[in-house]
Structure 1
Amino acid sequence: MSGLGVSSKRPASGSTTAVAASKQLPAAVVERVTAAIDESRDELIALVQDLVRIPSENPKLSGIADGGEARVQDRVEAALAAAGFSIDRWDAEPGRPDLVGTLKGTGGGPSLAVNGHIDVVPAGDPETWPYDPFGATIVDGMIWGRGASDMKGNVGAMIHAAVILQRLGIRLKGDLYVESVIDEETGGPGTRSTIERGYRPDFAIVTEPTGLVIYPVEGGLEWLRVTVTGVSGHSARRYRSVHAGGQGHAVNALEKGAKILAAVQDLERAWAVRKVHPLLPAGITTINPGVMAAGSGGGANGMPNIMTAVSNMPDYCSLELSLKYLPNESTADVRAEFEEYIHRVAQTDEWLREHPPTIEWGLRGVAFPPADTSPDHPGVQAIASGLTALGMPVEVGGFLAVTDIAWFAEAGIPAVIFGPAEGLGAHGADERVEIN
């Protein structure tokens, strides 16, 4: 999953609800499929090990030109092609391929995409790992290595599940798309590229590790920058600017930025009371201040050209924020609400009234739209039926991080986040996936 949010693999207390499946799967089909999966256990383990052993660090995070994603896609292609899937492979970015394997349906049924990403975050120093980060070592019933839980284990599982259906001759009415994509970890074009290429399923499952909790909703996420300008001056003459009738003309942009920051924190507290969602914990609509910088003049990257010193009154201040909003809110409405609030705050300050703050949205490309699939959607009910057939509880919750479900939602495609495993050690030096 993307490092741009925080996920509880089991949601916070009160943020899940049990649902009943609307249909029952034929017992004979369930028995055939589960028996075939049990019998091919070693095949699945070997596939996951192969995927983990191929380094595919996201080049945007690792700084290397070739993160190895193409070599992972070679292995994915081999598994799907051998089972009779038609293969479509293209570069979502130069040298970074997406891959979709298609199993055509018999007709008359809805299409389904199962989607997983094969880029991983950098492994870091191998000496900090208990085992080789790209060794896929099996210890204590777990496969250890970078990407094992996030999310090559589940990519292997979704491929293997699709292959088993084909192997058993179980024909689906609708088309099945197995999507292996790049660049999820930085919110890149992987899944969006599949949609732009024409893969628009009736329903999609993003197979991140959720512990088999169904997540049909996910809030939106925006990174933004609020910039305030002032008039520079020397601190020795500050006394001329801080009392009525003073002759100074300096305006400390850092102080004006602090006023904006305090107001943003007030807004965050108000949202925590007013904005609620039945599948998400209270207070999820956070506005986190991550960076505040002041100095002389604004550079192209939003930072001051010269960082301030205590002897100066800076004329430039930027405040970078991470803003989360509810699944049932629109991006446009949230942006408008925030901008109107900042405008009202500026009206209370003589300087800011005439020199209003500017707001830049989608900072560094981070702008994830929300996802809000109904728990009553037939796709959610179908997953519930599968869990019920296996004698497992059905839980529906709200996801706290951001994932590629955002891009399906943006395209108007109903989708959920759902997959086995618990995401053990994801992004850490103890990443592993349980063999169960």
Structure 2
Amino acid sequence: MSSIQDKINKLADERKEDLIEILRSLVAFRTESPPARNTEEAQHYIKYLLRDLGFETEEWGLFPGDTIVAGTKPGRNSEQYQSLILNGHIDVVAAGDEDEWEHTPFELRKDGDFLYGRGTADMKGGMASTLFALQLLRELGVELDGDLYFQSVTGEEAGEAGTKSCVDRGMQADFAVVADTSDLAIHGQGGVITGWITIKSKTTHHDGLRSRLIHAGGGIVGASAIEKMMKVIQGLQELERHWAVTKVYPGFLPGSTTINPSVIEGGRNAAYIADECRLWITVHFHPNETYKEVAEEIQQHVLAVAQGDPWLKENPPSFDWGGKSMIEDRGEIFPAIDIDENHPGLVMLKNQHHQVSKQEAVVSMSPTVTDAGWLGQAGIPTVIYGPGKLEEAHSLNERVELQQLIHHAKVLAGFIEKWCNTERSTLNG
């Protein structure tokens, strides 16, 4: 083990109370989403921490009341040495009925080996251990030759793509680590897109005319949009089953590519035949697909189903894919992210994990999604590596193991020191 890693490990164990205090401060900010629009105070706290750590910071609005904070620590020789992005989100899911919690969800509680509170696993724990890793490097006087970036985003829990706003501002690096919930495994991920399918009749009919519509042989060419949507749902089920036997990808179980009819809306009131019906679907896809390709595949299949129905053929479904927010426009996109197990950044992170834990790092695919896909889509080799178990994320009495937070900080600090002090030429041949 390198001498710097020895020093990091020793200091991390000595200063673990500092880590707990960072997490205590983060948990105390009620950054629930929904309702969202409540992260400015938490982001100001992170901004001042970053400044104290020697970062140049910038802050911008994502939505009113929700901001993004990005920090840059320029390297001593940026043009020749590797750069790194550290990324995480500050928003958490709603705590729900706080009376059901054993203790208040926004006051960190230590009980044995665990720390309890909303966001401890997803992912204020990962934010805290990342910031703690940066503190360790500062206290040890570690200098970096390559640029180091820290992104504290919001909107992840509502598909609002705070990370995408970082990418849109041109932020790039040679490698990125997203400290989201992975139980200290190194993860890639599949992707998710939501979409609305709408069936709308050209004519609105009164309920009194139902007996005369085409289904009853009454002579009026009309139909219920709700009933016709049932054919679309059946077609989606058939496509989902087809995907289950035709779409395979390493790290995913058969059937991982799902089409979930999540919400259905339709009709005016009981006095009318439903002249419109809207179906909200959530689609999971593999890393070798894009959300645009998957949306197009579903769209073509549904239109083919419509061609087999005389009424739908004349009143074809329409589609509205994705969106910028589950809160603002009821839509979201999470791009997939593949991982290259031979990439120097992944290999180095894996080796660092082994040095600290004496165990091989698990490299696999996450069963959920994070903002990491936006970094990958921007051409930045990216992995998810963070503390916390997925079964704890969003749960009642959410918790994270303290030792796992410390372990994450040790590995990340050692990795930062090694990666940002590695010349690009040594990795590029």
- Normalised to the residue count of structure 2, the TM-score between the two structures is 0.85
C-alpha separation between the residues in 2 aligned to 1:187 and 1:193?
12
1:100 aligned onto 2:70: yes
Unaligned runs of 5+ in 1: 1-25, 296-305
Matches within 5 A, 1:207-356: 207-216=179-188, 218-230=189-201, 231-233=203-205, 238-242=210-214, 246-295=218-267, 306-307=268-269, 309=270, 312-356=272-316
1:62 to 35, 44, 56: 35
Aligned residues: CA RMSD: 2.2
- 8 Å CA contact retained: 1:80, 1:101: yes
Residue type at the aligned position of 1:221: V
1:407 to 374, 379, 398: 374
Aligned to 1:28: 3
Q: Offset at 1:202?
A: 1.4
Residue type at the aligned position of 1:410: Q
- Cα gap change, 1:385/1:323 in structure 2, threshold over 3 Å: closer, same or farther? same
Residue type at the aligned position of 1:228: I
Residue type at the aligned position of 1:402: V
Residue type at the aligned position of 1:38: D
Matches within 5 A, 1:1-150: 26-58=1-33, 61-62=34-35, 67=38, 69-107=39-77, 108-150=80-122
Residue type at the aligned position of 1:149: A
Q: Offset at 1:427?
A: 2.1
- Cα gap change, 1:362/1:236 in structure 2, threshold over 3 Å: closer, same or farther? same
Report which stretch shifted further, 79-88 or 406-415. 79-88
- Cα gap change, 1:173/1:280 in structure 2, threshold over 3 Å: closer, same or farther? farther
- 8 Å CA contact retained: 2:182, 2:366: no
Matched-pair identity in %? 36
C-alpha separation between the residues in 1 aligned to 2:273 and 2:153?
49
1:165 aligned onto 2:137: yes
Aligned to 1:428: 395
User: Which has more strand, going by share of residues?
Assistant: 1
Deviations 1:8-46 (A, max 9, x none): xxxxxxxxxxxxxxxxxx532321211121111111111
C-alpha separation between the residues in 2 aligned to 1:30 and 1:346?
62
User: Which has more helix, going by share of residues?
Assistant: 2
The alignment covers a number of residue pairs equal to 393
Q: Offset at 1:268?
A: 0.6
- Cα gap change, 1:239/1:146 in structure 2, threshold over 3 Å: closer, same or farther? same
- Cα gap change, 1:78/1:238 in structure 2, threshold over 3 Å: closer, same or farther? closer
C-alpha separation between the residues in 2 aligned to 1:241 and 1:83?
71
Give SS of 1:185's match: helix
- 8 Å CA contact retained: 1:424, 1:433: no
- 8 Å CA contact retained: 2:214, 2:222: no
Give SS of 1:375's match: coil
C-alpha separation between the residues in 1 aligned to 2:275 and 2:161?
37
C-alpha separation between the residues in 1 aligned to 2:384 and 2:215?
57
Give SS of 2:255's match: coil
Aligned to 2:321: 361
- Cα gap change, 1:221/1:28 in structure 2, threshold over 3 Å: closer, same or farther? same
C-alpha separation between the residues in 2 aligned to 1:28 and 1:339?
57
1:197 aligned onto 2:169: yes
Give SS of 1:148's match: coil
C-alpha separation between the residues in 2 aligned to 1:319 and 1:91?
32
Give SS of 1:264's match: helix
Aligned to 2:156: 184
Q: Offset at 1:314?
A: 2.2
Q: Offset at 1:312?
A: 4.9
Give SS of 1:227's match: strand
Q: Offset at 1:86?
A: 2.7
Aligned to 2:351: 385
C-alpha separation between the residues in 1 aligned to 2:208 and 2:310?
23
